[in-house]
């Protein structure tokens, strides 16, 4: 088929989507399923703000795709509807700390919050004291209860430490006209354990946990979204269940489930199909996983890339499922360092790099005991053969091998 024919066919064929944006991550659904309990908890804690009493700070946590961002925003919007109707002095500011240039420094974050309160602070240049002064003034002038949501607060602390959170939770002693409450949201369930105990106790005056969804809950979420996003009859029997099963395999991640379906419909469209079947879901899963892995690999430091390259080379020389040991990886890695003029990391450090790749889900590394010879790691590849080849060639280019 010529490109002209393909494009002609494409515009003549009806889209399988009714409204594709409904499956994109920025879409705000009008109903939040299976989160009644969390919504109730949030509402109970935040309700005093409608009587101009400062609500407790809240720490919200759970794995990615468990509906934290959605549920918190949904509840705050409901709260604001009433506040606006009744003329209650209440406001909320939502900040996603993962976004670049917003929360990479204390200065930037305070400037960003101030901007939401209508006070602009130049992007650089002012002394920190001055920035805080403008910020306090902005808050006081509101004469309101102000709820500041710091989403992905774990990323913030990773970048700039926890002192800022400490300052924010202490801010009310400096304020006369307004009161501030903080809602911190974290995808990292262990995050709070690493905080300074004082910071932890003031941030988590209340805690709300978001458990992972089970496969049936994910199915409900998918069905609802698909009924708005995709034309009737496009989704074949069993497709939603399979998607949900994939998404629930590691932990119930609604974001991943929605992405799986969206990419599957795109694949079906590209093939000129009028339906998506289980096959497109498999292909979608493969494509998403491939993109994810390639994304991670290309952004790793060179030393890390070389460790992974060594693992993949060794895997290629072994029979399937035959494990690779840290010692072998290190020997090959050191060889390759010599060839590429890189200074080798210590074996201990390489061992850490290996466990990081394990955490990222690129390989499987299991610590095994070798009796009195100590411990080693047994590494297995989890990506498939064709992806391995692709990764190897990406790494060869990146490392000029
Ligand atoms: N209970 C739910 N009902 C409807 N959609 C949901 C639900 N939970 C999550 N989603 C959707 O799944 C995606 C991920 O949710 P999000 O709130 O961003 O998760 P988190 O912040 O926990 O990582 C979003 O597109 C969201 O709209
Ligand atoms: Mg989120």
Q: pLDDT in tens for each of the 401 residues of the chain? A: 788 888 887 777 788 999 999 999 889 999 999 999 999 999 999 999 999 999 999 999 999 999 999 999 999 999 999 999 999 999 999 999 999 888 889 999 999 999 999 998 888 889 988 999 999 999 999 999 999 999 999 999 988 999 999 999 999 988 889 999 999 999 998 888 889 999 999 999 999 999 999 999 999 999 999 999 999 999 988 999 999 999 998 789 999 999 999 999 999 999 989 999 999 999 999 999 899 999 999 999 999 999 999 999 999 888 877 889 999 999 999 999 999 899 999 999 999 999 999 988 889 888 887 776 677 888 888 878 888 889 999 999 999 88
CATH of 300-398, one of 3.40.50.720, 3.40.1670.10, 3.90.1640.30, 1.10.10.10: 1.10.10.10
Residues of the chain with CATH 1.10.8.60: 213-295
Query: Whose alpha carbon is nearest atom 1 of ligand 1?
Result: 33
Ligand 1: which of 31, 36, 64, 65 to mutate, most ligand atoms within 8 Å of CB? 65
Instruction: Tell which atom from ligand 1 comes closest to the C-alpha of 24.
Output: 25
Query: Whose alpha carbon is nearest atom 13 of ligand 1?
Result: 255
Sheet holding 375-381, edge to edge: 324-325, 375-381, 363-369
Q: Hey, what CATH class is 213-295 in?
A: mainly alpha
- Give the span between the Cα atoms of 138 and 88, in whole angstroms: 18
Ligand 1: which of 152, 187, 254, 261 to mutate, most ligand atoms within 8 Å of CB? 254
Maximum distance among all Cα pairs of the chain, rounded to whole angstroms:
73
User: Which is nearest to 117 in space by CA: 143, 142, 152, 83?
Assistant: 142
**Minimum-distance ligand to the CA of 25?**
1
H or E element, residue 309: helix 302-317
pTM as predicted: 0.86
Ligand 1: which of 28, 64, 70, 71 to mutate, most ligand atoms within 8 Å of CB? 70
Per-residue pLDDT at 373:
65
Residues of the chain with CATH 3.40.50.300: 36-210
- Give the span between the Cα atoms of 213 and 312, in whole angstroms: 34
**Minimum-distance ligand to the CA of 94?**
2
Residue 238, CA distances (Å) to 199, 203, 274, 277, 306 in order: 47, 44, 16, 8, 42
Gap from CA of 271 to ligand 2 centroid (Å): 33
Q: Is the Cα torsion angle 226, 294, 251, 201 positive or negative in sign?
A: negative
Per-residue pLDDT at 25:
85
- Give the span between the Cα atoms of 21 and 258, in whole angstroms: 11
Residues of the chain with CATH 1.10.10.10: 300-398
**Minimum-distance ligand to the CA of 67?**
1
- Give the span between the Cα atoms of 108 and 93, in whole angstroms: 15
Query: Whose alpha carbon is nearest atom 17 of ligand 1?
Result: 67
Residue 32, CA distances (Å) to 37, 75, 236, 286 in order: 11, 10, 25, 29
The β-bridge relationship of strands 363-369 and 375-381 is antiparallel
Answer yes or no: CATH 3.40.50.300 is held by domain 36-210. yes
- Percent of the chain at pLDDT > 70 equals 99
Ligand 1, CB within 6 Å, residue ranges: 25, 29, 32-35, 62, 64-70, 187, 221, 254-255, 258
């Amino acid at each position: 088929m010529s490109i002209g024919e393909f494009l002609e066919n494409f515009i003549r064929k009806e889209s399988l989507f009714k409204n594709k944006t409904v499956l994109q991550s920025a879409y705000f659904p009008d109903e939040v399923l299976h989160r009644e309990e969390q919504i109730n908890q949030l509402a109970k804690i935040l309700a005093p703000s409608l009587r101009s009493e400062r609500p407790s700070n809240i720490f919200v946590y759970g794995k990615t795709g468990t509906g934290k961002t959605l549920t918190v925003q949904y509840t705050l919007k409901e709260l604001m509807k009433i506040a606006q109707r009744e003329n209650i002095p209440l406001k909320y500011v939502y900040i996603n700390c993962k976004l670049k240039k917003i929360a990479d420094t204390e200065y930037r974050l305070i400037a960003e919050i101030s901007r939401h309160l209508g006070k602009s602070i130049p992007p650089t240049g002012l002394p920190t004291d001055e920035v805080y002064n403008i910020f306090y003034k902005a808050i006081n002038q509101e004469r309101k209860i102000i709820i500041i949501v710091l989403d992905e607060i774990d990323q913030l602390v990773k970048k700039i430490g926890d002192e800022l959170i400490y300052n924010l939770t202490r801010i009310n002693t400096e304020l006369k006209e307004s009161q501030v409450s903080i809602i911190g949201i974290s995808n990292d369930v262990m995050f709070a354990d690493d905080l300074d105990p004082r910071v932890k106790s003031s941030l988590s005056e209340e805690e709300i946990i978001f458990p992972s969804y089970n496969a049936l809950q994910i199915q409900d979420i998918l069905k609802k979204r698909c009924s708005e996003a995709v034309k009737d009859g496009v989704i074949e029997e069993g497709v939603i269940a399979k998607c949900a099963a994939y998404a629930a395999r590691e932990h119930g991640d609604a974001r991943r489930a929605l992405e799986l379906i969206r990419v599957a419909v795109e694949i079906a469209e590209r093939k000129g199909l009028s339906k998506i079947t289980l096959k497109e879901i498999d292909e979608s899963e493969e494509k998403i996983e491939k993109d994810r892995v390639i994304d991670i690999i290309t952004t790793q430091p060179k030393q890390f890339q070389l460790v992974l390259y060594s693992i993949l080379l060794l895997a290629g020389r072994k029979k399937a499922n035959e494990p690779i040991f840290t010692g072998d990886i290190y020997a090959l890695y050191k060889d390759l360092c010599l060839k590429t003029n890189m200074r080798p990391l210590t074996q201990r450090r390489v061992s850490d790099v290996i466990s990081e790749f394990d955490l990222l889900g690129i390989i499987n590394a299991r610590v095994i005991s070798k009796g009195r010879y100590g411990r080693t790691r047994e590494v297995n590849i989890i990506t498939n053969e064709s992806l391995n080849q692709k990764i190897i060639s990406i790494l060869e280019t990146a490392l000029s091998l």
